[in-house]
Amino acid sequence: MIRDLSLHLVTDPVLSGSRGVAETVRAAVSGGVGVVQLRDKGASDAETVDRLVELSGIIDGRARLIVNDQLGAAVSARARGARVDGVHLGQGDASVLRARELLGPDALIGLTANRAEHLDAVRALPAGTVDYLGVGAIRPTSTKPDHPPALGFEGFRAFAEASPLPCVAIGGIVPDDAAALREAGAAGVAAVAALCTSPDPRSTATEFLRNWRRGATPRVLSIAGSDPSGGAGIQADLKSIAANGGYGMAALAALTAQNTRGVRGVHVPPAEFLRAQLEALSEDIVVDAVKLGMLANAEIIETVIAWIDAVRPSIVVLDPVMVATSGDRLLDAAGEAALRGLVERADLVTPNLAELAVLTGRELGGWSDALVAAEALSAESGAALLVKGGHLPGDTAPDALVDAGRGIRREFPGARIATRNTHGTGCSLSSALATRLARGESAEQAVAGSRAWLRESLRAGSGLGVGSGHGPVHHFAGLWERGGLETRPSAEDIREAWWGRISGVRSGIDRLPFITALADGSLAEAPFRFYLAQDARYLREYARVLAEASRLAPDPEEQAFWAESARGSILGEMELHASWLTPERGIVGETSDAEPAPATVAYLDHLRSVAFGGDYPELIAALLPCFWLYTDLGSRLRAGALHPFARDPEHPYASWLDTYADAGFAAAAERAIGIVTRAASRTGGEQRARMLRAFETSSAHERSFFAAPMAEEGADRA
């Protein structure tokens, strides 16, 4: 079984102070700690057993309870009826093989590891002996002064990459470290001082988990019934999860025959098959959040409860599907009683008013009375409730978040949206909530964000044109409108496509008289010197445009590249031109003060117009052909691809051809290609199109620039 190892509390009686270990555990588990590791180095086995029994009652199945080092205490506490899930052993403690033998295949067994030889020993064990490695310390810590030198984040990353097992980071970790450690490959983090010394372990645990979840794609499982029309049930859940930034999974608890006008039939597969679906998932995938929808009978509900108790997903959102729109009860008495057991295991329950009345066993006298009832149910069950007021009469449809344990009672007002497309709103809302909670949002943030998304989807639902009854909401309305449907190409895709778009320009350059004569050595000196003079004039202005690209660059790395390219154009390239144009005097004003030819003027005007429009992506696209076309042409010329004589040292322009194939310039060209194509892949379709136009225009100017020397010579002869 793949377990969620996100957040461990390692207890310390000294650091817990006057609050004590028990109350620290109670608060931390309420905040979301998933594994409690009892560690008390000064306690005897008997004292440890007593403490395990006490903590088992406090935790009450909401987190896993393991004990540090004392395998015998774990066995004894189990014999007294305590729920002890496993043990964490050090390198010098009891054998992990013995621990697995005594505690069984479902126990959670961790092992401290921080050196390469520890990994070698783990690899030699039978598969399934150890579930995770506790790796650290990340920072030096007073709770283990004899620990080896701190690994730091990069040391942990290297260790985790080499490990055959999930690695839980430990040692000096604070909430702000959680996201970085997850990015470094951690399967979870273990906190000692950060939780034990916190004035509010519940809030600190919540902060740890929010940071841990932030930035990751949550894996959200819907356990519910199907809707072949796609508007409700599993189908709506998967759309909702995707629309709110999660990866959706589904275990079918019921099959329905329905459309937008109503349900015609329900088929409930055997509970054993639902169990098989859930076991298959939990053997391979960490489930970050679970949304529970239509569960047709007590046996199905008990199957789900057993799975939740075994896997203990960190977030459970329950949409208590109990009452049909007609008012008919959908569950018998046994099913309703079983569902109340799910309420106690849920983090958030989303009843409408009719469902809240069933769950509380009382008639509701209105919205205010519903909130009083919700507060009582929240206090009794430990779950937060989102009470949905969509069935209230009138022009408003408020919702309210009630969490008695946290002292939260917040109403979310909203005008009723006039639409018939309300099919699946409850399913969609609860799935959105599960996804957003798994992304690290607080309950209040998740409710606000989910409601905003659902209201947008409700307003757009009629545009789908699905069905003649109560149609579905448009789950992706906002995404389609703001993001469009165009596939975002990769940088490699853009490189291939853009190079192909200028294939005509490239072949045209190869056929130009200037290039063919340069290749076979027949080029007269006059057009060659004309080309050099124009190129020197061009480079002087090109350097200014490169400097503008450096000024606009979004990060220091690109800024430095364009600045260095500008410097190279002024010094390196001009020095080369001066060796032909003004060899006795070096680089002087005369080197680059030739009267610009029409092709030079046109090219520079194009670059300046793009540069001083202030659009960085478009500017660098315009600069690219000077790098890319020159490198391509130069390498092929020097290799003799256009004429074999170009390889001959006696070629009249051999020294110039050598510069075309310069390795440094080729490397700079590759860098420029990478910068531009990555920028094009990141931007939107409209700006990408402008970049391509700028690139193609510059490419055409490159061809004209190579054509100009022979055109000039022809004009002189005329």
Question: Which residues are catalytic, by number?
Answer: 388, 422, 424-427
Inter-CA distances, 528 with 207, 381, 593, 656, 709, Å:
69, 88, 16, 11, 7
Tell me the angle at which helices 298-311 and 271-282 cross, rounded to the nearest 10 degrees: 20
Question: Which residue, among 544, 587, 551, has the nearest Cα to 566 in the 3D structure?
Answer: 544
37 assigned to a ligand binding site: yes
Question: Which residue, among 695, 692, 676, has the nearest Cα to 558 in the 3D structure?
Answer: 676
- Side chain identity, residue 95: S
Give me 707's structure tokens: 């054509």
Q: Residues 16, 18, 23, 25: what is their CA dihedral angle, to the nearest 10 degrees?
A: 10
Beginning with the edge strand found earlier in the chain, give each strand of the sheet holding 247-259 in spatial order.
262-267, 247-259, 219-225, 289-292, 316-318, 348-349, 384-388, 399-403, 408-412
Question: Which residue, among 51, 61, 57, 49, has the nearest Cα to 20 in the 3D structure?
Answer: 51
Q: Is 411 exposed, middle or buried (0-12, 13-18, 19+ CB in 10 A)?
A: middle
Report residue 324 CA to chain centroid gap.
Answer: 37
Strand extents, DSSP E, 137-288: 167-170, 188-191, 219-225, 247-259, 262-267
Render 100-129 in DSSP notation, one character per residue.
Answer: HHHH-TTSEEEEE--SHHHHHHHHTSPTTS
CB-based contact 608:545 (threshold 8 Å): yes
For residues 628 and 645, what is the distance between their CA atoms, to the nearest angstrom?
24
Q: Which residues of 522-556 are buried (b: 16+ CB within 10 A; e: fewer)?
A: ebeeebbebbbbbbbbbbbbbbebbbbbbebbeee
3-state SS class at 133: strand
CB-based contact 83:61 (threshold 8 Å): yes
Which residues on neighbouring strands pair with residue 64, listed in sequence order? 35
CB-based contact 282:2 (threshold 8 Å): yes
Work out the widest C-alpha separation in the chain, in whole angstroms.
110
Q: Residues 128, 129, 131, 135: what is their CA dihedral angle, to the nearest 10 degrees?
A: -140
3-state SS class at 227: coil
Give me 107's structure tokens: 């126990």
Q: Residues 601, 604, 606, 609: what is their CA dihedral angle, to the nearest 10 degrees?
A: -120
3-state SS class at 10: strand
41 assigned to a ligand binding site: yes
Report residue 366 CA to chain centroid gap.
Answer: 42
H or E stretch including 384? strand 384-388
Rounded CA Rg of the chain: 35
For residues 314 and 277, what is the distance between their CA atoms, to the nearest angstrom?
19
Q: What are phi and psi of 246, to 5 degrees?
A: -115, 170
144 assigned to a ligand binding site: yes
CB-based contact 390:425 (threshold 8 Å): yes
39 assigned to a ligand binding site: yes
142 assigned to a ligand binding site: yes
Q: What are phi and psi of 416, to 5 degrees?
A: -65, 135
CB-based contact 279:106 (threshold 8 Å): no
143 assigned to a ligand binding site: yes
45 assigned to a ligand binding site: no
462 assigned to a ligand binding site: no
112 assigned to a ligand binding site: yes
CB-based contact 464:421 (threshold 8 Å): yes
Give me 76's structure tokens: 């004894």
Token pair 């759309």 is found at 239
Binding site, residues?
37-41, 68-69, 93, 112, 141-144, 172
Binding site for Mg(2+), residues?
69, 93
